[in-house]
């Protein structure tokens, strides 16, 4: 009996191949296939399906679930299996991994491939999906990932993204679908980087969507019942501006008459603070600028022999996450930044090459780049710290009109010149480098 065309193709294509290459050749191949998976084809409409040829042995030696399906006591006898909980492309990627240890992940398929990896007990594939998600988490998908997968490291990373991008994350499509328990955890976090009024708007939107889903009117009392006391009282109404509270919160009717009365008294200084909610500002990462205005372009030359230096102190303990330096339009700079305490002990040294990007401060654009500290540097209250940056590269922007003190809610930064500073050549309190500081309060 002569070989058919596909068999001839196989022998001619794999005669000199390794076993791994031969397995890869069999992926999505009708040759020797003894089972077909029927799955929906998202590109072909709701009723459209596609068939994927496969080989029971390949699947069974890769997955205990497939082993039980084909060789267990209740083994499947049919040669065609309908799979209803995934689409064609996602299952194809699962099989690609089985046959070749390779997978093509993207934002559209990774979550379903991860679901299939868990369903069919392929931990190596699940690890690849988890790593892809970690590297590609952003405000638009973080709540979807957080709710669907329970890996501790991935969950922790999700919360880190939510903390830093809270303002965008609560506006995502995934936010309004989160479970109540996730919303409770969210509003209780001290580390969210979001204005309180924007957080309240998001919470109100979530409650409104729940009302629509339940088919009830989105009235204040109904939303209050859906939210529950824990969520409402975790909102820090006292940190809002009075106008924000009046424009946004009052019209929702979520607060009781007693709570509204307390807030009116609080804003009128007739009440120290309402006992039923917190007045503590969230400790999300914040930024302060040394130069509130007057950032100018100038040919400021750099020399590694004349470093930029500044003395910094704070009246409350902080974690310093980054310092921003000025650059010029998309130019590259070599920098060594040292942070030392008053005893001359080096707390951190960062050396590298950095590309200047377009930044914004108080509505004014300029070019600069961030020097990031991992882990953050702790500045204790009342102590002096010395910043010294040796820079090499083209002339840069610089700041003018700096102040010796910059107040931020909860903390005051103080700046001083280092000894021997030369005006117009070095950084000073009034002019020069170190434009912004990113921090959290401890």
CATH of the domain at 157: 1.25.40
Clarify whether residues 296 and 427 are in a common domain. Answer: yes
Phi/psi at 345 (5° precision): -80, 125
Clarify whether residues 303 and 400 are in a common domain. Answer: yes
Alpha-helical runs (H) found in 26-139:
56-60, 64-71, 88-100, 110-119, 123-136
Domain range for 193: 143-267
Give the pLDDT confidence score for residue 153 in this predicted structure: 84
Phi/psi at 360 (5° precision): -135, 140
Clarify whether residues 106 and 166 are in a common domain. Answer: no
> Total structural domains in the chain?
3
Give the pLDDT confidence score for residue 302 in this predicted structure: 57
Clarify whether residues 87 and 162 are in a common domain. Answer: no
Answer with the one of 104, 134, 164 that is the final residue of a domain.
Answer: 134
Clarify whether residues 292 and 338 are in a common domain. Answer: yes
Give the pLDDT confidence score for residue 209 in this predicted structure: 97
In the numeric block, the tokens 């100038």 are attached to 298
Q: Give the chain's largest Cα–Cα span.
A: 99
Clarify whether residues 125 and 149 are in a common domain. Answer: no
Please list the ranges in the chain whose pLDDT falls under 50: 1-5, 294, 297
Strand order in the sheet with 405-408: 346-355, 332-341, 385-392, 308-314, 411-416, 405-408
C-alpha closest to that of 320 among 404, 164, 442, 161:
442
pLDDT tens profile 89-101:
999 999 999 999 9
pLDDT tens profile 407-441:
887 899 999 998 765 555 578 898 889 999 999 88
Residues 6+ apart with CB under 8 A from 256: 224
- Token pair, residue 118, equals 């868990």
Answer with the one of 216, 232, 267 that is the final residue of a domain.
Answer: 267
Strand order in the sheet with 318-326: 286-289, 436-441, 318-326, 364-379, 357-361
């Amino acid at each position: 009996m002569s070989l058919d065309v596909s068999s001839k193709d196989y022998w001619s294509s794999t005669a000199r191949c390794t076993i791994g290459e031969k397995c890869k050749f069999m992926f999505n191949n009708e040759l020797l296939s003894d089972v077909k998976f029927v799955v929906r084809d998202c590109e072909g409409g709701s009723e459209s399906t596609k068939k994927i040829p496969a080989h029971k042995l390949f699947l069974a030696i890769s997955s205990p679930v497939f082993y039980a399906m084909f060789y267990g006591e209740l083994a499947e006898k049919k040669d065609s299996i309908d799979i209803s909980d995934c689409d064609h492309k996602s299952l194809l990627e699962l099989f690609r991994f089985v046959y070749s240890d390779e997978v093509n992940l993207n934002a559209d398929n990774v979550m379903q491939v991860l679901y299939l990896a868990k369903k069919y007990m392929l931990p190596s594939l699940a690890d690849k999906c988890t790593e892809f998600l970690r590297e590609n988490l952003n405000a638009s998908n973080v709540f979807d990932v957080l709710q669907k997968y329970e890996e501790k490291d991935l969950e922790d990373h999700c919360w880190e993204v939510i903390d830093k991008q809270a303002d965008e994350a609560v506006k995502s499509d995934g936010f309004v679908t989160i479970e109540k328990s996730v919303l409770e955890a969210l509003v209780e976090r001290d580390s969210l980087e979001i204005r309180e009024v924007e957080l309240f708007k998001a919470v109100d939107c979530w409650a409104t969507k729940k009302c629509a889903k339940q088919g009830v009117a989105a009235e204040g009392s109904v939303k209050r019942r859906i939210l529950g006391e824990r969520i409402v009282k975790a909102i820090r109404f006292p940190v809002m501006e009075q106008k924000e509270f009046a424009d946004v919160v009052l019209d929702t009717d979520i607060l009781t008459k007693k709570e509204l009365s307390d807030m009116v008294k609080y804003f009128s200084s007739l009440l120290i603070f309402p006992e039923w909610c917190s007045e503590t500002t969230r400790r999300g990462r914040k930024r302060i600028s040394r130069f509130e205005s007057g950032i100018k372009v100038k040919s400021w030359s750099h020399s590694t022999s004349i470093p930029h230096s500044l003395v910094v102190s704070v009246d409350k303990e902080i974690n310093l996450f980054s310092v921003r330096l000025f650059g010029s339009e998309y130019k590259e700079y070599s920098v060594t930044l040292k942070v030392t305490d008053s005893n001359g002990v080096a707390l951190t040294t960062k050396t590298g090459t950095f590309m200047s990007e377009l930044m914004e401060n108080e509505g004014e654009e300029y070019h600069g780049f961030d020097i990031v500290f991992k882990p953050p540097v702790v500045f204790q209250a009342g102590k002096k710290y010395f910043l010294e940056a040796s820079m090499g590269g083209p002339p840069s922007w610089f700041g003018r009109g700096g102040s010796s003190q910059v107040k931020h809610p909860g903390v005051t930064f103080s700046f001083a010149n280092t000894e021997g500073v030369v005006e117009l050549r070095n950084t000073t309190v009034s002019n020069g480098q170190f434009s912004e500081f990113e921090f959290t309060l401890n």
